Structure 1
């Protein structure tokens, strides 16, 4: 889907406002040229203020992106595109992010055992605004999210402890990595596999094409 745009994108300064190695891997694999500028935004938003979980993920992504955008606003070579993302897991109305510690990871995975949960990734794409608005907005911002349902296998407490001991769960929303050993715990998914990794690749490509088509 991005093939017609790749020659244009190669001339742009693209910033990934995330230090996630999974997002870096996904974008590198499609041949996108980009820089990484991790956001310093503290993800401490009040979850109770958001009617639905994906709105919380989108707002986190927006705040992370805008923090980087403000930091680079005076750069002699400002970015042509900023990409921000935030991934959460939800089940029974509860939002699960990265586990705080091993016990938190154990509790998460125990709840998921034999059940279905949903992974949401909020994504934000920001491009320079040629005609800043009345508020001085310098970026045109596109916000959206993608969801994927994940069915986990039945897991014994011993198996969960052994998985946590590998260290893999600790930096991942929901306490597991589908692209690693955690993939052996996943019985099935409905939706975008890459979304579970933390970056909805197809939706990203679709939205990016629309942005650049509208600029013509």
Structure 2
């Protein structure tokens, strides 16, 4: 197969593709994601649609200047009616963890494939994440153990690490939680004859 281009700097998306045996090149799409998100919200788009729009924007941006099949991916976290952004400080992370305690939030993971500046396929999957009731002592210990690396994750957790301790239940696909729903992507790559059926 021809190398896929991943329009993202995400280490976890890249690792998922590598783990599935899909060779790829990383060419991050440098976009103002907050501006795209704000525009979507002003238009009254759903959180799922926002995730999809961000994924499509990344795929299109890279596809317009690079030939080949480009994969864009993005994920948004919906807590009640709000879209949550990454925390900038550990104090913000602590406040978010308090807010998520005992609540269910939703991770919407959008993906899009573009070729020659045109979207040829897109998809969005959702996982429901129920955080257990967290004590102040647990939150303090969790932040002390994980440190600033949690600021790179939108919900201040990495499920493949210590973040798993935050949850009571998870409904949805593990790959969706990690930000790249692999099963529908692999099915589409087989449909397109990029992967062997």
Report the TM-score, using the length of structure 2 for normalisation.
Answer: 0.88
Residue 133 of structure 1 corresponds to none
Partner Cα distance (2:152, 2:178) in 1: 12
Match of 1:31 among 21, 40, 50: 21
Residue 15 of structure 1 corresponds to 5
Match of 1:58 among 44, 52, 59: 52
Superposition misfits of 4+ residues, deviation over 6 angstroms: none
Partner Cα distance (1:16, 1:96) in 2: 24
Helix, strand or coil at the partner of 1:142: strand
Partner Cα distance (2:123, 2:186) in 1: 12
Which structure 1 residue ranges, 5 or more long, are not aligned?
Answer: 1-8, 73-77, 129-137
In the alignment, does 2:174 pair up with 1:193? Answer: yes
Kindly provide the CA deviation profile for residues 51-95 of structure 1, in whole angstroms up to 9, marking residues without a partner as x. 3101111111111112211232xxxxx22x111111111121111
Kindly provide the CA deviation profile for residues 155-203 of structure 1, in whole angstroms up to 9, marking residues without a partner as x. 1223223323322321112221111110121222111011111111112
Aligned residue runs from structure 1 range 51-200, under 5 A: 51-72=45-66, 78-79=67-68, 81-128=69-116, 138-165=117-144, 166=146, 167-200=148-181
Helix, strand or coil at the partner of 1:40: coil
Q: Larger radius of gyration, structure 1 or 2?
A: 1
Residue 42 of structure 1 corresponds to 32
What RMSD, in angstroms, separates the aligned Cα atoms of the two structures?
Answer: 1.7
- Total equivalences in the alignment: 188
